[in-house]
Amino acid sequence: MKKPIVVSIVNHKGGVGKTTSVINLSAVIADSPKLRKIKKKVLVIDFDHQANATLVLYRKCDGESSIYHKLLEYSGITITHDSQEYPMDVLVKPSTIENVDIFPANSLVSTAEYELLNATSRETILKRIINHNQDFLSQYAYILIDCPPSLGVLTTNAIIASDYLLIPLDASLFSMEGVSILDKTILRLQKLFDIHTSIAGMFFVRYQPLESVHKEAKELMRREKGDLLLEQSIRKNTEIEKATYHKQPVITYSPTSLGSRNYQALGREFLKRTFKK
Ligand SMILES: Nc1ncnc2c1ncn2[C@@H]1O[C@H](COP(=O)(O)OP(=O)(O)OP(=O)(O)O)[C@@H](O)[C@H]1O
Ligand SMILES: [Mg+2]
């Protein structure tokens, strides 16, 4: 039984394109010849209490079961439900995208940030959830985790559970300092938890090649990070926003748009780096 490849889309800055990239990359990866050949799907885990990925890929589910319930079950904290109540195949839902499932979030996830602070081994809860549910998860080739805009306990859990990290960078709000905070956090977690999580790549979102600050940001990143900066950037493209508004990935909403072509190329580059037969 092959384990799914776990990837966190992470950046503590808000609004840099994490959720948009999770939605669109999940669709591109699930539709790729590589995954179709092995007949495996993609699972999106929504780890953000804003639950934007859940809203687009499924529906608002406040008052319903969510990733919060699994986190509490594995936290060792006295819980108000027993594990039988929330098996994986009940919690995980089919999404609006073919061959993509979603482990939804809701507003309760915000309380997990502080409830988990007193849990034993609080940083490795998601890793344990994934390890203990290998049978169920073997239907997926990739698990993509949509992280919240912070470096709190949930993002720490996501990083520790991941094989790879993908880091979207907003070209218009780019700061090298932001990247180095993230770098230091990853290094610290690698040492503390003896994990092998590595950065699969960083990529610019809302990129405009004619804006000199965008070009400079890209050149600086190329000099500083070399190959870690992916070739493909995601250009600023309103079709991407419209697709999200219509609860679709851009590859189906507007297949020939620039946004669609960009995400398809990014998906290919990402698969080349991470997919193992
Ligand atoms: N390439 C793009 N072109 C135009 N708009 C984009 C593009 N990528 C993302 N956006 C828009 O930018 C906004 C922020 O994107 P998104 O919600 O994906 O960021 P985020 O990092 O997940 O935010 P948060 O940190 O709050 O979770 C959204 O309105 C989205 O539609
Ligand atoms: Mg988001």
- Encoded tokens for 233: 């950037």
pLDDT of 105 above 60 = yes
- For a mutational test of ligand 1's pocket, the pick from 9, 20, 21, i.e. the residue with the most ligand atoms closer than 8 A to its C-beta, is 20
pLDDT higher for 277 or 39? Answer: 39
For residue 20 and ligand 1, the question of a CB distance below 6 A is answered with yes
pLDDT of 248 above 70 = yes
Residue 23 CA: nearest ligand 1 atom is: 18
Residue 205 CA: nearest ligand 1 atom is: 1
Q: Could you give all domains of the chain from N- to C-terminal order, each with its CATH number? A: 5-274 (3.40.50.300)
pLDDT for 76: 79
Q: What is the mean pLDDT of residues 200-204?
A: 97
pLDDT for 176: 85
Helix (H, G, I), strand (E, B) or coil at 99: coil
Q: What is the number of other CB atoms lying within 10 angstroms of the CB of residue 210?
A: 6
Q: What is the number of other CB atoms lying within 10 angstroms of the CB of residue 3?
A: 14
Q: What is the mean pLDDT of residues 209-231?
A: 96
Q: How far apart are CA 22 and CA 189, in angstroms?
A: 23
Query: Taking a C-beta distance cutoff of 8 angstroms, is the pair 232, 197 a contact?
Result: no
* Distance of CA 4 from the midpoint of ligand 1 (Å): 26
Ligand with an atom nearest the CA of residue 172: 1
Q: How confident is the model at residue 80 (pLDDT cuts 50, 70, 90)?
A: low
Q: How far apart are CA 213 and CA 260, in angstroms?
A: 24
Q: How far apart are CA 116 and CA 97, in angstroms?
A: 32
Q: What is the mean pLDDT of residues 125-134?
A: 96
Averaged confidence pLDDT in the chain: 94
Q: What is the mean pLDDT of residues 154-174?
A: 95
Q: How far apart are CA 133 and CA 221, in angstroms?
A: 38
pLDDT of 64 above 70 = yes
| DSSP, residue by residue, 6-41 | EEEE--SSTTSSHHHHHHHHHHHHHTSHHHHHHT-E
Q: How far apart are CA 274 and CA 178, in angstroms?
A: 25
Query: Taking a C-beta distance cutoff of 8 angstroms, is the pair 162, 200 a contact?
Result: no
Helix (H, G, I), strand (E, B) or coil at 78: coil
Helix axes 18-30, 258-274, angle to 10 degrees: 70
pLDDT of 63 above 80 = yes
For residue 254 and ligand 1, the question of a CB distance below 6 A is answered with no
Q: How confident is the model at residue 103 (pLDDT cuts 50, 70, 90)?
A: very high
pLDDT for 171: 85
List beta partners, residue 180. none
Q: How confident is the model at residue 173 (pLDDT cuts 50, 70, 90)?
A: confident
108 contact partners, CB below 8 Å, separation of at least 6 = 49, 62, 66, 68
pLDDT of 79 above 60 = no
pLDDT for 5: 98
Q: What is the mean pLDDT of residues 238-266?
A: 98
- Residues of the chain by 3-state class (helix, strand, coil), percent to 5: 50, 15, 35
pLDDT of 82 above 80 = no
